[in-house]
Amino acid sequence: MVIALFVVFSAMLFDQLLTQALTSLQSQVDINVYFVADAPQEEIDRIRNAVTALPEVAAVRYTTREEALLQYREDNRDNEIALQAIEELSDNPLGANLAVQARETGQYAGVAQFLLEQQAGEETSTPVIDVVNYENNREAINTLTSFIEVVERVSLIVTAVLLGAALLITFNTIRLGIYTSREEIAIMRLVGASNMFIRGPFMLQGTLYGLFAGVITLAIFYPILIWLGPGSELMFGLNLLDYYLDNFQYITLVIIGIGVALGLVSSTYAVTRYLRT
C-alpha cells in the first residue's frame, strides 16, 4: 500500500513540476505591438484597454516611449554607434509598445487577428500601430503549441500507467492476503454468517492499511523533498518542499483518502470472490 501511494504522490509531484515548467515556457512567448512615435495617447490607451479586455489575454505589459528609449540604451550600452545615432536625434524616435501574453499558446492567432483588424481600421492619415510582430513569431509559437500538446498527452499517459500500476499492486497484494483466509471464510459461510459480517473485518483491515500507509508515505516524502526542493526550484521554478508544506492539508486528505479508498474497495472485491464459491 505504501508503494502504491508513493507512486500516486510521485505522479502528483510530477504533474506539478510539468505544469510549472510549461507555464514558465509559455510566459516567455508574447506578441509585441509597436506604436508610431507620434501616436495619440488616447488611441494607445483605447487599444491597450481593448486588448486587455479580451478573454484570451492573460497579461499586457505597456512600455512608454521614455521607457523604450531607456531600454534601447541599456540593450546597446556596448554599441557606441547605436548610442551616438540616438544622441544625434533631437527627438525620441521610438514609440510606445505593448507586450501581450495569451492564456494559451493556441490563442495567439486570435489575439493577433484582433490587433491586425485594429490596424486595418485606422485612418491612413493618422496611423497608430506601426508593427504587430506576430508573423515573425508564428513559427516559434506554433512549434511551442505542438510541443506543449505532446508533453501534456505524454503526461496523461504516464500518470494513467502509474495509477494503474498502483491499483494493481494494491489489489493483488490484498487479494493474496485474503487468499490465506479463504478457509475461514468458507467456515463462516457454512455456519450461516451473512456476507456483510464476513466482509466487515476485511473492509476494516483494508481501511486501516490505507490510513497507516498514507501517514507513512507522507512521512517518507518529507526528507526526500528537503533534499529535492532546492534542485527542483532551480530547474523548474517550483520548490517541491514549499509546495508540500503549503498544501499539506490538501495533500494529506488526497493521499490518505486514496489509501483508504484503495484498501476498502480492494478488500471488498477480493472477499466477494470467495463469497460466490
Spatial neighbors of 6 by CB under 8 A, at least 6 apart, are: 217, 220, 221
Residues 195, 201, 206, 207, Cα dihedral to 10°: 110
pLDDT value of residue 277: 55
Q: What is the DSSP letter of 61?
A: E
pTM: 0.66
What is the set of domains in the chain, with CATH numbers?
2-22+145-275 (no CATH), 32-137 (3.30.70.3040)
Q: Phi and psi of 102, rounded to 5°?
A: -85, 160
pLDDT value of residue 212: 93
**Strand ordering across the sheet containing 31-35:** 57-63, 97-102, 31-35, 129-132
Over the chain (277 residues), the average pLDDT of each successive run of 10 is 85 83 77 88 90 91 89 83 78 87 86 87 80 80 80 81 77 77 80 81 86 93 89 82 91 92 83 69
- Is residue 238 within 8 Å of 17, Cβ to Cβ? yes
Residue 151 neighbours by CB distance under 10 Å? 14
SS3 at position 58: strand
Cα→Cα distances 240→176, 191, 246, Å: 36, 54, 10
What does the pLDDT look like over 65-104, one tens digit per residue?
A: 888 888 888 888 888 887 787 777 778 888 899 999 988 8
